[in-house]
Each structure stands twice: as structure tokens, then as C-alpha cells.
Amino acid sequence: MKPVAIATDQANDESALVMARDVPQKTPLGPAHALLALLARVDMDPACAHAVETAIARDGVWNRFLDLAEDHAMAPLAYHHLVRQPVTSNAATLPKTLRRGLQALVLRHRDADIILNDNLAEIVAASRRANLQVLVLKGGALCHILYPDSSMRPRRDIDLLAHPREAAAMQACLGQLGFETPAKHGARAMRFHHHLPIASRQCDGMQVSVEVHHDALSGDYPDRLRIGQLTSPAQDFDVPHGNGGKVTASALGHDDMLCHLCLHALEPGGPFRLIGLADIVSYACRFEGALSLGQANQDTRANTLALLHYLAPLPPQLGKFAPPSHVPVPDGVGLNMPTLKQLFSMPLTSSQRLNKLVFPSPWWMHAYYGVAPGQPLGRVRYGRHLLRICRWALRRGFAISLPG
């Protein structure tokens, strides 16, 4: 299925470089995207269900719905809320071809889920035998901690966090399990990446990829999230495998988990993935009592929730994080900044490319740099953001320039 093309979504951008004001960027993400955003939560509250009903009634809501659902890893959740346990009566208007398409995707993700769970269980058991501490990151943990059925949370690979001193040993452990463990990353620009070269093996016709991180956060962030520097104790969860067996694995603690989810979801790279919206909002709801969330202007996670409210209204339980209604909605809701690689592969003029680099989506800038909605972006845009771009370019340039 064809991925969403950033260039197409932003076809109406101005071509001239404009200084000293925020550049309005139209984000015609469409009715299908709007519906998927509303479906992006594990538990549906009545207000959101009502919004889903209204969204379904919009013209063109089913255009590109299946493609977008898969691009945003939302097919199982969409199927759950529209077919299995429909949240509104007009969910029955879902065209039969789309329903069947969703069914096929649900089956595919279910099969992948079984394989990934079996692999994760084997890897966790092997790490124990080798006396190595690993934490499972992102979807590999969330699918068991947050979702009623792990297959409802699609994953493409297995992400592990190891202590920086043990990452190589963990990679060797994977090698002993039959994973191919390349000595180097494929691209020189990834030389100082926050995870080791991707390990992979074939299982039942599917390629299983494992990333051993020594830092949960990309080096593009100035902050670190490493074992030994975590703020909350790890949490345990069960991974089912085989014929009814299970293995106990560990994940980031609640505060670190939510922090990681927010920062990871906002990394440059195209549209904000709606499964990230489901993860963040659902996690904040489920574990609100165990989280120490501050105000939006002090806490990145609270600020992210505030910005996500513009994608889909927060549940009543998180209503205190919603921005006041008088605050203007920033442009570019749902659009992350493209990566440098994406920018240079787009069919753009140099000035257009520079424009997107220096003036990415205001919504994204508010979220990425922790600026509360309604607060001006000037200092960030002409200060931190420019410095951050320099950091990204220097890191990659340095990595590429080194021999070997």
C-alpha cells in the first residue's frame, strides 16, 4: 500500500522564503485522517464516540481510509472500534470492501504479533541466562501493558534498551540465537546512532528485526534516557508465547515510558503517527494516578498532551491538559517536521527546502520544543531550532567524514 506522501499533503505551501513571521501551512489531512485520529485510543469515551459519529458522516471520509489506517498502524484499532465493538451505529456505513480490507490487515498483524511475541520471549529468556538487563521499548511493551490484545498494537520490529556497557553483549546474545548481526550500520551517517546495527532473522516467512538501544532517545535530542539514569523503576509485564507459556519482561517505568513515547512520536519524519496518539493518550489515562505530570509550560509530556488535543479531543479524564478554548490553534496540526534525508529527497526548490527546514509545522514546534499553545515561537524558531538544525547536520557530517 502506498505511503502518505508528505509533498502531496503540503502541495499548497508558499515557495518564497519568509522571515519574521510564522508561515501558515495548510494541513489538508482530510476526513479519513480526522476519523482515524478519533479512533486512536484504546478505550472510547462517550464524547469521542459522538465525535466519531459526526466524522463518519462527512463526505469523503472513506477516501484513502485503508491506506492511511495501515500507514498509521491503526488498522486493528479502527477495526475494533468500527466493526468488532462499534462505537456508533453509523459505523455500519463502512463500505464492505474497506471492512474486508481491515479484516485482512487485522489477520496479518495477528500473525506478525504471534511471531514477534515468540521471538521476544526467546530473547528475554536468553538475556536472563546471560545476566544482561534489557528493557523492552515502545510497541513491544505497550502491546502487552496497554492493549487488551497485543495484536491490536502493530509493531514492525523489537526495540530493546540495554545498559551502554552491555549493549554489545546483548547483540552477541542475539547472534547466538541465530540473528544476523551486522558489524556496521548500512549508512555512515548512522555511525553514532543510539542503537546498534539492526539484528534480523527469518521466522515463518517473516523477517524479525531487533534494535538494541544503548539510549532510548536519538542523539538528535540533547537529553539522554539510559539504563542507570532512569527516573522511575522499571515495570514488569508478561509476554505470552508458544502453547500458553509466558515470560516476564521489563519495560520503562511510567514516567520514563510516557516521556519516551512523547519524544519518540515527535521525532522528525513525516506525519505524526496516529498509533503514537493512541499510545500516549491511552497511557496517560490508564496510569494517570501513577504519573507525576506537571503543567504544560513545565512538563514536556503535559505539553504534548495539550498539543494532541488538537488532533483529537482529550478524554474528560485528561481534560485539565487541554488548552483553553481562546488559544488559537497552531497551524500544521499532525505534521512532524520531515527528516533531513526526506527534505533532500523531495522534489522541491532550494528555497522551498530551506523554508520547510527553518519553518516546520508550528504545531510540531510547540510540541517538540515544549512551548505551550498560545505562547510565541519566535525565540525557539530563531534560536533553539536553528541550533538544533546545526547539531543534526554536524552529527551527520562528522559521522560521514570519519574513515571506515
Partner 1 sequence: MTETAPNDLLRKKPSRSSQFRIEQMDGEYLLYSVNETRTIYLNDTAVLVFNACNGELTVGEIVSALSEAYPDAKDAIGDDVVTVLREFENHGAIELA
CB of 90 to partner 1, least distance (A): 18
Contact letters (x/-) for partner 1, 57-86, by CB under 8 A? --------------------------xx--
Q: Which is nearer to partner 1, 84 or 156 (CB)?
A: 84
102 vs 225 by CB, closer to partner 1: 102
Return the bridge partners of 159, or none: 211
Cell reading at 64: 484513502
**Minimum distance of partner 1 from residue 403's CB (angstroms):** 42
Shortest Å distance, C-beta 45 to partner 1: 24
Specify the residue, 110 or 246, whose C-beta has the smaller distance to partner 1: 110
Smallest gap from residue 322 Cβ to partner 1 (A): 35
Quick one: which segment of 174-182, 204-212, 250-258, 332-340 binds partner 1 (CB under 8 A)? 204-212
Which residue of 204, 236, 238, 288 would you call a contact of partner 1, by CB under 8 A?
A: 204
Count of chain residues binding partner 1 (CB under 8 A): 12
Q: Which stretch binds partner 1 (CB under 8 A): 35-43, 171-179, 203-211, 342-350?
A: 203-211
Which one, 37 or 116, has the nearer CB to partner 1? 116
- Closer to partner 1 at the Cβ: 110 or 185? 110
Q: Which three cell numbers stand for residue 56?
A: 463518519
Binding of partner 1 by 104 (CB under 8 A): yes
Q: Give, in order, the Cα–Cα distances in Å from 282 to each of 31, 41, 142, 196, 378.
A: 22, 6, 10, 30, 32
- Identified binder of partner 1 from the candidate list 5, 47, 92, 107, rule CB under 8 A: 107
Residue 111 binds to partner 1 (criterion: CB under 8 A): yes
Segment interacting with partner 1 (CB under 8 A) among 101-109, 336-344, 370-378, 381-389: 101-109
Q: How far is the CB of 154 from partner 1 (least distance, A)?
A: 15
Measuring CA to CA, which residue among 308, 300, 263 is closest to residue 282? 308
Among 12, 54, 63, 103, binds partner 1 (CB under 8 A): 103
Which of 125/206 has CB closer to partner 1? 206
Select the residue interacting with partner 1 from 64, 108, 201, 391 (CB under 8 A).
Answer: 108
Task: Count Cα neighbours of 214 within 13 Å in the Cβ-side half-sphere.
Answer: 14
Amino acid in the structure at residue 365: M
Long-range CB contacts for residues 306-309, cutoff 8 Å, separation at least 24? 306/372, 306/373, 307/363, 307/366, 307/367, 307/373, 308/277, 308/280, 308/281, 308/367
Nearer to partner 1, 99 or 286 (CB): 99
What mask, x for binding partner 1 by CB under 8 A, covers residues 81 to 100? --xx---------------x
The reply to whether 314 sits near partner 1 by the rule CB under 8 A is: no
Nearer to partner 1, 111 or 331 (CB): 111
- Report the interface residues with partner 1, using CB under 8 A: 83-84, 100, 103-104, 106-108, 111, 204-206
